[in-house]
Amino acid sequence: MRKFSRYFFWTVVIGFIYYAGSRYELHLIEHGQMNYNFWPAVIFATIFPIIIGILLRLPNLIKEIKQEKAWSVNWIKLLAVGLPTLYVALVPLLSLTIMYKYLPFAIDIIHLDLTMIAGVIFGFVLLDSLKEDSEEEEDTIQMAGK
């Protein structure tokens, strides 16, 4: 019952943060329409999904940190999954710069739903790529290298 309570509480907290963030984003969009300044809304729309992804992974990371073991970064996961999703998540922000016309696939991935999902995935992978050093992973790395 304790695990259920913890999961339920964390779900409510993330749901509340998502609701409050969505309301704040609408406020920023309305304010931007009045002032013709969309930078705050676009910056928030870029960063907020990444924060949600971090919050989704945070409980397990805290549990793993309490084990007090040595840590390292899974660079393969961070580069293979994190880098492309970060690019997709940053496209709306980069679209307001002069670099926009030089970005590959920028017009195809400008949809906010896609960038929001990519931001959540990047935030999750960012914390998930932190891993404990263990003999099992060293064995898999050695086996992959042979």
pLDDT digits (tens, 9 = 90+) for 3-34: 899 889 999 999 999 999 999 999 999 999 99
Q: For residue 67, what pLDDT band results from cuts at 50, 70 and 90?
A: confident
Core vs surface per residue 64-75: b (16+ CB within 10 A) or e = eeeeeeeeeebe
Statement: residue 116 has pLDDT above 60: yes
Angle at 138 between CA 135 and CA 140, to 5 degrees: 115
Confirm if 137 and 76 have CB atoms less than 8 A apart.
no
* Long-range CB contact pairs, 21-26, < 8 A, 24+: 21/48, 21/51, 21/52
Q: For residue 139, what pLDDT band results from cuts at 50, 70 and 90?
A: very low
Q: How far apart are CA 63 and CA 80, in angstroms?
A: 25
Residue partners of 91: CB distance under 8 A and separation at least 6:
103, 106, 109, 110, 115
Angle at 11 between CA 8 and CA 17, to 5 degrees: 145
Statement: residue 47 has pLDDT above 60: yes
pTM exceeds 0.75: yes
Q: For residue 91, what pLDDT band results from cuts at 50, 70 and 90?
A: confident
Statement: residue 81 has pLDDT above 50: yes
